[in-house]
């Protein structure tokens, strides 16, 4: 059984920013590689086959190898609420606050 994915506002912008950055480093390849890595992580979450670690209270984290980014999501009533795709080396306190702001600003229903 597939888990429904719900995307909070800002996730597509996160992915676009990461894609554009890696495209600038590797024209013609960077954008596609980054986006495919994100899609692979989303497929894992959707299938529910892999349990990802909890990074902050209720927020699961998927490392987007080989990129230094994490995809954060919450499990709410059987759905995966995709909250953010953020640079992994930011201050953890700032990441946690950004996640909480996204949840307050987005609809999880």
pLDDT in tens, 89-100: 999 999 999 999
Give 24-74 pLDDT, tens digit per residue. Answer: 999 988 899 999 999 999 999 999 866 677 888 889 999 999 999 999 999
Topology of domain 5-105, CATH: YaeB-like fold (3.30.2310)
- pTM equals 0.89
**Which residue did the predictor score with more confidence, 43 or 107?**
43
pLDDT at residue 46, as a whole number = 94
**Three-state secondary structure readout of the chain:** CCCCEEECCCHHHHHHHHHHHHHHHCCCCHHHHHHHHHHHHHHHHHHCCCCCCEEECCEEEEECCCCCEEEEEEEECCEEEEEEEEECCCCHHHHHHHHHHHHHHCCCC
What six digits make up the tokens of 65? Answer: 């190898």
């Amino acid at each position: 059984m597939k888990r429904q994915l719900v995307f909070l506002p800002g996730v597509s912008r996160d992915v676009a920013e990461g894609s554009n950055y890696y495209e600038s480093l590797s024209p013609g390849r960077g954008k596609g590689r980054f986006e495919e890595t994100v899609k692979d992580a989303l497929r894992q979450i959707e299938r529910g086959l892999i349990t990802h670690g909890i990074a902050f209270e209720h927020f699961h984290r998927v490392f987007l190898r080989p990129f230094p980014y994490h995809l954060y999501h919450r499990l709410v009533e059987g759905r995966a609420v995709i909250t953010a795709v953020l640079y992994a080396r930011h201050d953890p306190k700032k990441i946690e606050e950004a996640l909480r702001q996204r949840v307050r600003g987005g609809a999880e229903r």
